C-alpha cells in the first residue's frame, strides 16, 4: 500500500515484467501461488479480467476467495495506488477462479517479514488447520475472508513502514479467525459464565477526495455485506461514515453523513431491509490513520459496514451484540 513516484514505478515495473512468468505458464505449482512480483503495467488488465471472472458467485469457498482477492486488488489499486501488489493479488484471484483454492501466502517468501515471522507463521498454521479441518465447506465465507486478511497482514508487514496498517490487518485477521471458529461450531455454548460477543464482520468502503459516490471497491464491499446479511450471517447492520482531516470540521461532518447515506441506500438496493440498518457518522473525529489537521488521507475517507454476529450465551443461542457507536 505504497505510493510511488512515476520514475520508480516505471523501473520496478519493467524489472518485474522481465522476471515474471506468464500467468498460465508459471504462477502456480504444487498447489502454491508462486511469489513473484506483480507488474504495474498489467495490473489494470488483470484486475478488469478478475472483475468479470470472479463476479458470478460467492456461495462456495473458491468463489468467495476469488471475490476476496478482487476486493484486495481493488483496494491496492484504487485506494493505495500500489499497482504492483494489486496485480499480484489480481493474478492470485484469477488463479483461484480458474483452478480452485490456493493457500495463504508464505511469509518467508516476502521481504522484510523477519521481525514478525514467528507470529505470521503461527497465524498461518492456525488458519491452515481450520481450512484443512473442513472450514472451506462448513464456513466458506468466514474462511475466505480470514485468508484474504492474513495475506493483507503479510503484505503490510513486508512493506514495513505503515505500523497502523500492519496493526489493522493483523487485528482484522485475528477477528476473522474468531468469527471462523464460531461459524464452524455455531451451536456450541460458551464455556464460562459470561456470554461471548462474536466480533461483527466489518466491510470497508473507501471514497475519493471530497466525494460520496461509490467506487468499484466500494460497490464490491457493499455487495459482499448485503450477500452475507442475506444468507443469515448477521441480523443487523451499522454503517458509520468518516472523513479525513482535510477541510473544515463542520463540512466533514456533513460529508461523512453523505457517505454513510450512500452506503445505506446501496445496501437497500441490494436487498437489505431499511429497518435492519442503523446509520451514523463521525466526521473527521475517528481517523483510521492519525494525521495532522488539514492533511488528506485516503485510508480515512471511508465508511464502515458492521454486520452484527450477536452475543453467544451458555445455551449456544445468539442475540444482537452491536453496541451503539
Cα-Cα-Cα-Cα torsion 250, 252, 256, 261, nearest 10 degrees, comes to: 70
Rounded-to-integer distance, Cα 38 and Cα 286, Å: 33
**Cβ–Cβ < 8 Å for 268, 236:** no
Give pTM, 2 decimals.
Answer: 0.83
The larger pLDDT score, comparing residue 200 to residue 42, is at 42
Phi, psi dihedral angles at 196 (to 5 degrees): -105, 130
CA 180 to centroid of chain Cα atoms? 15
Rounded-to-integer distance, Cα 49 and Cα 21, Å: 18
| Helix/strand/coil for 317 | coil
Q: What is the pLDDT of residues 118-166, one digit of tens each?
A: 999 999 999 999 999 999 999 999 999 999 999 999 999 999 888 988 9
Q: What is the rounded average pLDDT of the residues 89-111? A: 94
- pLDDT bucket at 323, cuts 50 / 70 / 90: very low
The larger pLDDT score, comparing residue 322 to residue 268, is at 268
Q: What is the rounded average pLDDT of the residues 75-104? A: 93
Of 54-63, 65-74, 207-216, the one with minimum mean pLDDT is 54-63
Q: What is the rounded average pLDDT of the residues 185-191? A: 61
Instruction: Return the closest-CA partner of residue 60 out of 23, 97, 115.
Output: 97
**Cβ–Cβ < 8 Å for 196, 241:** no
Q: Report the alpha-carbon angle 219-104-45, nearest 5.
A: 45
pLDDT at 183 over 80: yes
Per-residue model confidence (pLDDT) at position 38: 74
With residue 51 as reference, give the H or E element that holds it: helix 43-53
With residue 311 as reference, give the H or E element that holds it: strand 311-312
Per-residue model confidence (pLDDT) at position 27: 52
- pLDDT bucket at 72, cuts 50 / 70 / 90: very high
pLDDT at 313 over 80: no
Class of domain 196-319: alpha beta
Per-residue model confidence (pLDDT) at position 106: 96
Q: Report the alpha-carbon angle 22-103-158, nearest 5.
A: 75
pLDDT at 113 over 80: yes
Rounded-to-integer distance, Cα 134 and Cα 113, Å: 29
Q: What is the pLDDT of residues 13-48, one digit of tens each?
A: 433 333 333 333 335 544 566 656 678 889 999 999
Instruction: Return the closest-CA partner of residue 51 out of 219, 245, 262, 233.
Output: 219
Per-residue model confidence (pLDDT) at position 88: 96
Query: For the chain, what are the domain ranges?
Result: 6-184, 196-319
Per-residue model confidence (pLDDT) at position 255: 98
Q: What is the pLDDT of residues 276-307, one digit of tens each?
A: 999 999 999 999 999 999 999 999 999 999 99
CA distances, 9 to each of 35, 262, 288, 323 (Å): 19, 34, 27, 44
Amino acid at each position: 500500500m505504497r505510493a510511488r513516484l512515476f520514475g520508480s514505478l516505471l523501473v520496478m515495473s519493467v524489472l518485474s515484467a522481465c522476471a515474471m512468468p506468464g500467468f498460465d505458464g508459471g504462477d502456480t505449482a504444487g498447489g502454491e501461488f508462486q511469489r513473484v512480483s506483480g507488474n504495474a503495467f498489467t495490473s489494470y488488465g488483470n484486475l478488469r479480467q478478475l472483475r468479470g471472472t470472479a463476479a458470478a458467485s460467492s456461495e462456495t469457498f473458491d468463489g468467495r476467495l476469488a471475490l476476496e482477492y478482487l476486493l484486495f486488488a481493488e483496494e491496492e489499486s484504487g485506494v493505495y495506488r500500489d499497482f504492483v501488489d494489486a496485480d499480484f493479488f489480481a493474478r492470485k484471484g484469477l488463479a483461484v477462479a480458474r483452478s480452485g483454492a490456493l493457500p495463504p501466502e508464505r511469509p518467508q517468501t516476502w521481504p522484510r517479514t523477519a521481525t514478525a515471522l514467528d507470529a505470521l507463521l503461527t497465524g498461518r498454521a492456525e488458519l491452515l488447520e481450520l481450512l484443512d479441518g473442513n472450514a472451506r465447506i462448513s464456513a466458506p465465507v468466514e474462511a475466505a475472508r480470514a485468508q484474504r486478511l492474513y495475506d493483507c497482514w503479510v503484505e503490510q508487514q513486508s512493506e514495513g513502514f505503515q505500523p497502523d496498517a500492519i496493526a489493522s490487518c493483523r487485528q482484522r485477521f485475528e477477528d476473522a479467525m474468531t468469527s471462523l471458529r464460531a461459524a464452524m461450531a455455531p451451536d456450541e455454548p460458551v464455556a464460562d459464565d459470561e456470554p461471548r460477543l462474536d466480533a461483527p464482520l466489518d466491510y470497508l468502503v473507501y471514497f475519493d477526495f471530497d466525494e460520496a459516490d461509490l467506487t468499484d471497491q466500494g460497490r464490491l464491499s457493499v455487495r459482499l455485506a448485503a450477500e452475507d446479511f442475506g444468507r443469515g450471517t448477521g441480523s443487523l447492520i451499522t454503517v458509520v461514515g468518516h472523513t479525513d482531516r482535510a477541510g473544515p470540521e463542520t463540512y466533514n461532518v456533513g460529508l461523512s453523513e453523505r457517505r454513510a447515506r450512500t452506503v445505506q441506500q446501496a445496501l437497500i438496493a441490494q436487498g437489505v431491509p431499511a429497518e435492519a440498518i442503523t446509520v451514523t457518522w463521525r466526521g473527521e473525529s475517528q481517523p483510521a490513520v492519525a494525521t495532522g489537521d488539514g492533511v488528506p488521507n485516503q485510508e480515512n475517507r471511508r465508511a464502515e459496514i458492521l454486520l452484527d454476529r450477536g452475543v453467544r450465551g451458555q445455551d449456544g443461542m445468539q442475540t444482537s451484540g452491536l453496541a451503539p457507536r
